[in-house]
Structure 1
Amino acid sequence: MNITQKIENRINQLEPGIPFKYEQLGIEREEIGAAAKAIERFLNKGFIKRISRGVFYKPKESVFGKLRPSEEDLIKSYLFRKGKRIGYITGTYLYNRMGLTTQFPKNIRCASSVKRISTRIGNTQIKPVKSYVNVTNDNVVLLELLDAFKDFKNIPDLNVPSSLAILKNKLKQLSDTDLSTLIRYALKYPPRTQALLGAVLESMGMKKYTVKLKDNLNPLSTYKLRINEDILPERVRWNIK
């Protein structure tokens, strides 16, 4: 089987509309030159489309013709390296998906501890954010949740009572193991993250998880998070204003 047939077979096995890179085609180092020529032929025929340098997709057929991948699917190709997750979408895009804001950003932020994920996809600019913890498939949900606590004050168009209710519901869905891991990660985040997380957990009767957070905070520090005492009475014990 020549390299062109090999690549065509690999592409046929890929899901339409999902971005892929050279590394997903099983190309050996000595095959790269021939592979590049094969890819160009496939591009010219319309068998695949290019998103950016080294990133392609197989068009998805529909009654409306060939469809381009969704924006989120396009971004996902930058969140993995050799099949291993190295980043995740954060910022307003994430908080919109979580139901914390109705705003939709022009730019999308991607967090990673090992790579600056910075590119442009169409009219959307992807901007890098440093992750506080190494990212894996297993901890993405926890990091997304901690980011929401970290950025709570600055989330646009935020309804505080309903947003706290959403975060509490997400915390309720975590196992004891996940909650313990969440606390361990929270200690790497800014103090305001720990204070708000601690106050919310305490309001849910989950005080046993807050001890490490409380011990880690400076008792003289205060945190201005725009939360009234009638909404979160526990804020007083955590020096939240």
Structure 2
Amino acid sequence: MSYSSRIIESINEYPELTIIDTQKLYKEKFNDVSEQAFYKTISRMSKNEDIERISKGIYCKPRRGRFGTTISSEKNILEHYLGINKNRGIVIGYQMYNNKGLTTQLSKTIELYSNITFQEKKQIKNVIIYKANIRFDISTIKMIELLEVLQNYRNIEDLNIIRFKKIIEDSIKYYDEKTIQKLIKAIGYKKHTIASLKNILDFFNIENKVDHYLHGTSRYNALRMEELYGVTS
């Protein structure tokens, strides 16, 4: 079978509207073919309208009906990069803040971390995907949610303080040293975010070694739990 036939056969196995990430496909299945030959076949399939281009390197098999041609929607994009069971990624940014009741504000774009993508950052329509080579178990998800809020809470419009406290109290139940270690390595949170986490864990008397990533906490302009909870010494 020719390389062109192999590529066409592989793409034809994709269900309609499913995201086809050609960079990922090439690296996983066709690295024995030259990139030029691979993308020449992709270009030909696109010109023949066998597949439709959504953004650079991203295609889908369109759905055709009597009302016209349909291509992948935001829902299809999210399902691909988050996983149908939402075990391949997590939504962050204003979409997450809104879902958690931290704010009533929304953004035109949806941001997420995913272990599907090969690129550090990719935008498809209004969805921005950041690479995160991690396993998205419940502990990881809860810690990402907390760290994302700690990193950005000062800039969240109309921040709901009650909901902010609830996220802190719910998330710290899942604190785990190994999880934090892999998140710092994979995502790279800022020092003030890690210092804020340290203050939270200390405030709730949760044993931790977060100071391993810091040189003291006062210099980082971290969240002060005594102020958040109105505690006086």
TM class by smaller structure: 0.5 to 0.7
Distance 1:62 1:223, change over 3 A: farther
Q: Percent identity?
A: 26
Secondary structure at the counterpart of residue 154 of structure 2: helix
Deviations, residues 35-86 of structure 1 (Å, cap 9, x unaligned):
444323432343211122322112357897654334375479899xxxxx9x
Residue aligning to 1:5: 5
| Match in the other structure for 1:91 | 93
RMSD of Structure 2 on Structure 1 (CA): 4.5
**2:15 paired with 1:21:** no
For structure 2, which runs of at least 5 residues remain unmatched after alignment? Answer: 83-87
Question: Taking structure 1 as reference, are residues 71 and 233 closer, same or farther at Cα in structure 2, changes over 3 Å only?
Answer: same
Separation (CA, whole Å) in 2 of partners of 1:148 and 1:34: 45
Displacement of 1:159 after TM fit? 0.4
Q: Distance in 1 between matches of 2:64 and 2:99?
A: 27
Residue 55 of structure 1: aligned partner:
58
Q: 2: CA distance between counterparts of 1:156 and 1:103?
A: 7
How far apart are the structure 2 equivalents of 1:33 and 1:105?
A: 38
After superposition, the Cα gap between the structure-2 partners of 1:39 and 1:165, relative to the gap in structure 1 and judged at 3 Å, is same
TM-score by length of 1: 0.62
What is the identity, as a one-letter code, of the residue corresponding to 2:148? D
* Counterpart position of 1:163: 164
**Residue 135 of structure 1 aligns with which residue?**
132
Matches within 5 A, 1:1-241: 1-22=1-22, 23-24=24-25, 26-30=29-33, 32-60=35-63, 66-71=69-74, 74=77, 90-107=92-109, 117=121, 119=123, 121-122=124-125, 124=126, 126=128, 135-138=132-135, 141=141, 142-172=143-173, 174=174, 179-184=176-181, 189-202=189-202, 205-209=204-208, 212-213=210-211, 216=214, 218=216, 220-221=218-219, 223=221, 229=227, 232-233=229-230
- TM-score normalised to structure 2 length: 0.64
Number of corresponding residues: 215
User: 1:161: how far off?
Assistant: 0.9
CA distance in structure 2 between the aligned counterparts of 1:226 and 1:72, rounded to whole angstroms? 39
The unaligned stretches of length 5 or more in structure 1 are: 80-84, 129-133
Specify whether residues 207 and 64 from structure 1 end up closer, same or farther in structure 2 by C-alpha distance, changes over 3 A only. farther
- Given residue 9 of structure 1, which amino acid in structure 2 is its aligned partner? E
Q: Which moved more, 1:187-196 or 1:52-61?
A: 187-196
* 8 A Cα contact 2:52 2:62, kept in partner: yes
Q: Distance in 2 between matches of 1:212 and 1:36?
A: 46
